[in-house]
Structures are given as C-alpha cells and as structure tokens.
Amino acid sequence: MVTLTPTQDKYLPYVLAVALFMQILDATILNTSLPQMAQALGESPLKMQWAVISYALTLAIFIPISGFLADKYGTRRIFLTAIVVFSIGSLLCAASPTLDFLIGSRVIQGIGGAMMTPVARLILVKSYPRNKLLTVMNFAVIPALVAPLVGPVLGGYIVQYASWHWIFLINIPMGVLGFVMGKKLVPALFEDTQRLDWLGFGLFAAAACGFTLAVEFGSQVGRGMYGLLLAVAASVLLGAYVAHAKRRPAPLFPLSLFDIRTFRIGITGNLFTRLGISAVPFLLPLLLQVVFEYSPSQAGWLLAPIAIGAIGIKPWVSKIIQRFSYRKVLVLNTLLIGILIILLAQFNDPDNWLWFIPLLILMGACNSMQFSAMNTITIGDLEGAQTSSGNSLMAVNQQLAIGFGIAFGAAVLNLLRERFGLDTLAAFQTTYWILGILTILSGLYFLRLKPEDGRGLY
C-alpha cells in the first residue's frame, strides 16, 4: 500500500470524480445532439450511430490493456497521457468536417477514455486501505450519477443555442483541470508485469470489430453478403482466440472464468439484456426530434427522468435483491424492462409527452436495478487473480453490448424503412416492439440462476 501525503489522501478521489464526469458526460451529452450534428455534416440523423458505436467499441477493445500499461509505465504517466489523448480526440471531434472524420476522432477519444477511468479506479484501489475504499469509491462515483442527468439537458441547450462543436469543446477545460489535479495528486505506482498477450488482444479486437460491422453491413441494401462474411470471419477469429487461450498460460481473458457458473450466466445475460437497453438512449432522442419535432432542449429534458429514476432506486437496490433473490429480481426486472420498451412503441402523438415521464422514471429505476444486479452476480464468486481479469472482461462486455445494442437498433430501424417501406414513425414503433420482445426473452436466461445464488453478496 502506497503512503499518501495528507493532501493526496484528502483530494485523490476528486481525480477519479473528474475522469468519470468527463467520460460519462461525453457519452450522455451526444445522443440529444445527433440530429443537429447530422444536419451540419450532411448526413441522415438515422445513420449517425457510428458516432456512438465507434467510441464504445474502442473502449471495449482497449480497456483490457489499460491495467497492464499502468503497471508497466506507472499510473501517473498513463493517467496523464489518457487525459491528453481524450482531450485531443475531443478537439478533433469538434473540428470534424465529415462523419468519417468524426468517427476517427471518436476512436482517438475512446483510446483515451479506455485508459482514463479504469486507471483512475486502479489508483484508488492501490492507494487506500480496504476499510476506507468503499467510502472513497462512493464519493468518487457521485459524478457518475449526476452526469447522465446533466448530459442530455446540457447537450440539448448547447446545440439549440450555440453549436454542436461545444459538445466536445467543453471537455477541454475539464481535461486541463484533470491534468493539473493528476500531476499534483496521482502517485506514480508500478507493478511487475507479465508479457501482455498481444496475439490474444489482436484476435479479440478483430472479432469484436467484425461482429459490430457485420450488424451494420447486414442492414444495408445490397451489402447483406458482406455482413454475413464478416460474421463468419468474426466467428473464426473468436474461435482462434479460444484455441489460443487454451494453450497460453496467461491469456488476455482466461477461459477458466467461464467454469464459474454465476460468472458465465452473468456475463452472457449481461450481453443479451443490454441489446435492447442500450438501443433506447440512442433511438429515443431521434424519435423525439426527427418524428415528433421536439427541440433539442425539450428532448434533453424528456430524457432526464431516466437518470432521476436511476438515482432514486439506488438506496433500495440491495434491499430489494436481499428480499427477493438475484434470480427473481433479474428475471422479473428484465421482463418489466422489455414491457416498458414496448410501451414506448405506443406513443404516436407528440402532445402526450406527459405520459413519457413516469414511464421513463420507471425505466431508469429498472435499468439501474438491472445493472447493479447483473454486475454483482457476475463477479460475486470470483476469487484471487480471477477477480481482476473477470472485472476487466465484464467492463469490456458492457461496452461491447452498448455498441451491439446501438448497431442492432439502428440496423432494425433502417431495414424497416428501406427494405420494408415503413414510414419513420411506424419503423420506430416496430423497432421498439422487436427490442422489447428480445429483452423479455433474454430475461429467461437468468432462470439458470439458483435461488440461493448471490446470498453471500448481501
């Protein structure tokens, strides 16, 4: 355990707080801004999904090596580098003249983000004793609750009254603040490192990209065969990773993790359940602005109830799980989320916006319950060295699910419009029905849990 100065001991958690706020604000502020960005870049608002997917996919690919880089080159150097890369990526996003340039800039941003928050969390874990860690972490993650509430509203006002470029430019002063704080407060911690599994990293990254691109190409008229070929290639690459991991003593993600039943159920259920959940924050602002012609600020305010619901349920999550068990909570909560997504398909009149509020508050509460339950049951039975690799794989899985969910939601929407000729409102409504039904079906997977699973976690 490193010895902190009194100043470091008091203010080091603020470093993670700033990093988390930057990253989550950037993720949530973008959704309400996409229609205006599309107009400025000469693109269709319904084909802007790669501005979001590219970032989530980059996070998923680079998160696994963030800990290795921090251990080898030092936590301070990697954290400061991450903030600089994230800020440069933000500047390039603001300067983007085309969608392709924006996507490339989001990749640079994602590389910085993949190192920034995980390394900041690692710094706290290594710097504080276990009996103080929960208090420190709870304080540091407060911005993670506030940013989703502020992001959509702030994004709406920025694009309505200023310019979409400021969506990214506001990261620069926060990046400067984070850099200054990091330089003064972050200790330089090193660890002995094994050689990184670069071949495993390459195989995994290529497979993740292949599956995401397969969904995108599969939805485009005349490119279905490319999508199929990419899916086959990605499956082969994933199989190659499995064969490689069986032979290598220290693979990127040990296959022994999947011998643990609760981890296997949690990680798989997490991936499929998030397909519908992840698509909604992308599709809903588009429905409100493109179809119902709400202003960006109005759309932002209508997304805020999701964050309110998520914050409001937090004190009750552990009590509800303790009362009903992980199995019942995950099965029934997933069913409820699916029903709520289907209810979004019933809105066809912009004047009925008041009905959105209770529905979205409940959806935010259910999402928060779902994420907390899935995350804890996934890593709850891991021990020793498995805890670090399992936690890393879970974080990667979450980002992949976000990317897959957005890609799948956008693909279904575009297929319904372009191949089946539905008007835009009908396409959105049908998409919500499909996402809701898939979410309900994914909840059945949690029936594999036993009633007693997770009892040691509360």
How many domains are there within the chain? 3
The string of pLDDT tens digits covering residues 174-213 is 999 999 999 999 998 888 777 889 999 999 999 999 999 8
Whole-number average pLDDT of the chain: 90
What secondary structure does DSSP assign to 326-351, as a single string? Answer: HHHHHHHHHHHHHHHHHHHTT---GG
Question: Do 183 and 260 have their domain in common?
Answer: no
Question: Do 387 and 259 have their domain in common?
Answer: yes
Question: Do 82 and 110 have their domain in common?
Answer: yes
How much is the CA Rg of the chain, to the nearest whole Å?
21
Residue in 215, 14, 188, 175 with CA at minimum distance from that of residue 92: 175
Find the DSSP H helices in 314-450: 317-324, 326-344, 356-379, 385-418, 424-443
Residue 242: pLDDT over 90: yes
Question: Do 145 and 205 have their domain in common?
Answer: no
Residue in 414, 441, 425 with CA at minimum distance from that of residue 339: 441
Q: Token digits for 324?
A: 């009903």
**Alpha carbon distance 64, 202 (integer Å):** 11
Q: pLDDT-based confidence at 385, cuts 50/70/90?
A: low
The string of pLDDT tens digits covering residues 302-351 is 889 998 998 899 889 889 998 999 999 999 999 999 999 999 999 888 88
* Cα dihedral 279/98/29/338 (nearest 10): -10
Question: Do 1 and 108 have their domain in common?
Answer: yes
* Cα atoms found within 13 Å of the Cα of residue 287, Cβ hemisphere only: 28
**Alpha carbon distance 188, 22 (integer Å):** 22
Count of other CB atoms within 10 angstroms of residue 298? 19
Question: Do 305 and 359 have their domain in common?
Answer: yes
Task: Give first-to-last CA distance, the chain, whole Å.
Answer: 27
Question: Do 51 and 149 have their domain in common?
Answer: yes
Question: Do 435 and 397 have their domain in common?
Answer: yes
User: If you average pLDDT over residues 401-429, what whole number do you get?
Assistant: 92
DSSP state of 3: P
**Alpha carbon distance 168, 373 (integer Å):** 33
Question: Do 306 and 405 have their domain in common?
Answer: yes
Helix (H) or strand (E) holding 274: helix 261-286
Domain boundary (251, 279, 295) is at 251
- CATH number of the structural domain spanning residue 92: 1.20.1250.20
- The domain of 150 spans 1-196
The string of pLDDT tens digits covering residues 10-39 is 888 888 888 888 888 888 889 889 999 999
**Alpha carbon distance 14, 184 (integer Å):** 12
Helix (H) or strand (E) holding 56: helix 50-73
380 phi, psi to nearest 5 deg: -65, -35
Question: Do 216 and 266 have their domain in common?
Answer: no
Domain boundary (251, 274, 294) is at 251
Judge contact between 304 and 153, C-beta under 8 A. yes
Question: Do 452 and 414 have their domain in common?
Answer: yes
The string of pLDDT tens digits covering residues 93-144 is 999 999 999 999 999 999 999 999 888 888 887 888 867 776 777 777 777 7
Q: Token digits for 337?
A: 């989320």
Residue 220: pLDDT over 80: no
Q: Classify each residue of 353-378 as buried b or exposed e, where b means 16 or more C-beta atoms within 10 Å of its C-beta.
A: eeebeebbbbbbbbbbbbbbbbbbbb
Question: Do 88 and 100 have their domain in common?
Answer: yes
Q: pLDDT-based confidence at 458, cuts 50/70/90?
A: low
Look at residue 43 and give its three-state secondary structure. coil
User: If you average pLDDT over residues 257-276, what whole number do you get?
Assistant: 92
Count of other CB atoms within 10 angstroms of residue 180? 13
Domain boundary (149, 180, 196) is at 196
Sequence-separated (6 or more) residues with CB below 8 Å from residue 439: 273, 275, 276, 277, 334, 337, 338, 341
Residue 221: pLDDT over 70: no
